[in-house]
C-alpha cells in the first residue's frame, strides 16, 4: 500500500525532477517516486571501493547523472580513512 508523505527537497533536486518530468511526460511526483525506488533497490554495499562505474540516468538527463556522480564521489570520500603512513 502506498503512503503519502510531505518531503522537503533541495532546490537543485526539485529542478532536476521537474526537468525530467517535462522531458518524459511524467508527473514530478512519479519521477521522484521512481528515483527513490531505484535508490532503495541499490545498496551501497554492492559497490567495490576504487572501482569505476558507468553513470546511468533513467530519464536521459545528463544533469541528473552529474548529481549522481557527485553523490557517489562524496560517499566515497566519506568512507575513506586516513592514510596510516601519515
What are the tens digits of pLDDT across the range 7-57? Answer: 899 999 999 999 999 999 999 999 999 999 988 887 666 667 777 766 666
Q: Confirm whether 58 is domain-assigned.
A: yes
Q: Confirm whether 45 is domain-assigned.
A: no
Structural domain count, the chain: 1
Q: Confirm whether 8 is domain-assigned.
A: no
pTM, full prediction: 0.50
Q: Name which of 25, 27, 5, 9 is nearest 67 in CA terms.
A: 9
Count of residues for the chain?
86
Q: Confirm whether 69 is domain-assigned.
A: yes
What is the distance of C-alpha 22 from the center of its chain?
18
Q: Confirm whether 62 is domain-assigned.
A: yes
- Structural domain containing residue 71: 17-22+54-77
**Using an 8 Å Cβ cutoff, are 20 and 31 in contact?**
yes
Q: Confirm whether 38 is domain-assigned.
A: no
Q: Confirm whether 82 is domain-assigned.
A: no
Amino acid at each position: 500500500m502506498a503512503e503519502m508523505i510531505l518531503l522537503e527537497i533541495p532546490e537543485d533536486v526539485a529542478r532536476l525532477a521537474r526537468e525530467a518530468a517535462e522531458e518524459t511526460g511524467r508527473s514530478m511526483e512519479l519521477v521522484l517516486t521512481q528515483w527513490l525506488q531505484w535508490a532503495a533497490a541499490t545498496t551501497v554495499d554492492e559497490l567495490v571501493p576504487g572501482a569505476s562505474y558507468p553513470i546511468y540516468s533513467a530519464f536521459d538527463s545528463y544533469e541528473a547523472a552529474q548529481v549522481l556522480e557527485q553523490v557517489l564521489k562524496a560517499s566515497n570520500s566519506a568512507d575513506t580513512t586516513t592514510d596510516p603512513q601519515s
